[in-house]
Amino acid sequence: MIGVMLELRSYAKINLALSVGPAVSDPPERAGFHPIASWFAAVDLADVITLERSVGGSRFEVVWADGRAVDWPLERDLFVRAHAVLESVVGRELPTRARVVKRIPAGGGLGGGSSNAAAGLRGIAALHGLDIDDAAMRRLAASIGSDVGFFLDLERGLERAPRAAVVTGFGETVERVDAAWERGSAVTLLAPTFGCSTVEVYRAFDATGTKRLREADVRALAAGPGIDPSTLFNDLAGAAESVEPRLRGLRERVETMTGERAHVSGSGSTLFTFSDADLSSLAMEGVVVTRCEFIGDALRGVGS
Summarize pLDDT for 229-249 with one digit per residue, the tens: 999 999 999 999 999 999 999
With both helix axes pointing from N to C terminus, report the angle between 78-90 and 112-127 in degrees, rounded to the nearest 10. Answer: 40
With both helix axes pointing from N to C terminus, report the angle between 112-127 and 134-144 in degrees, rounded to the nearest 10. Answer: 140
Residue 211 within any structural domain of the chain? yes
pLDDT over threshold 90, residue 304: no
What SS3 class is residue 124?
helix
pLDDT at 291: 95
- Residue 273 pairs with which residues in a beta bridge? 188
> Domain boundary residue among 129, 151, 176?
176
Instruction: Kindly report the number of other CB atoms within 10 A of residue 68's CB atom.
Output: 9
Supply the residues annotated as catalytic.
13, 147
Q: Alpha carbon 229 to chain centroid distance?
A: 20
Summarize pLDDT for 153-202 with one digit per residue, the tens: 999 999 899 999 999 999 999 999 987 666 557 899 999 999 999 999 99
What SS3 class is residue 67?
coil
pLDDT band at 300 (very low <50, low <70, confident <90, very high): very low
Residue span of the structural domain in which 222 resides: 186-293
Is 165 found in the same domain as 19? Answer: yes
- CATH number, domain of 25, equals 3.30.230.10
**Is residue 147 within 8 Å of residue 110, measured between CB atoms?**
no
The model's pTM: 0.93
| Higher-pLDDT residue of 107, 210 | 107
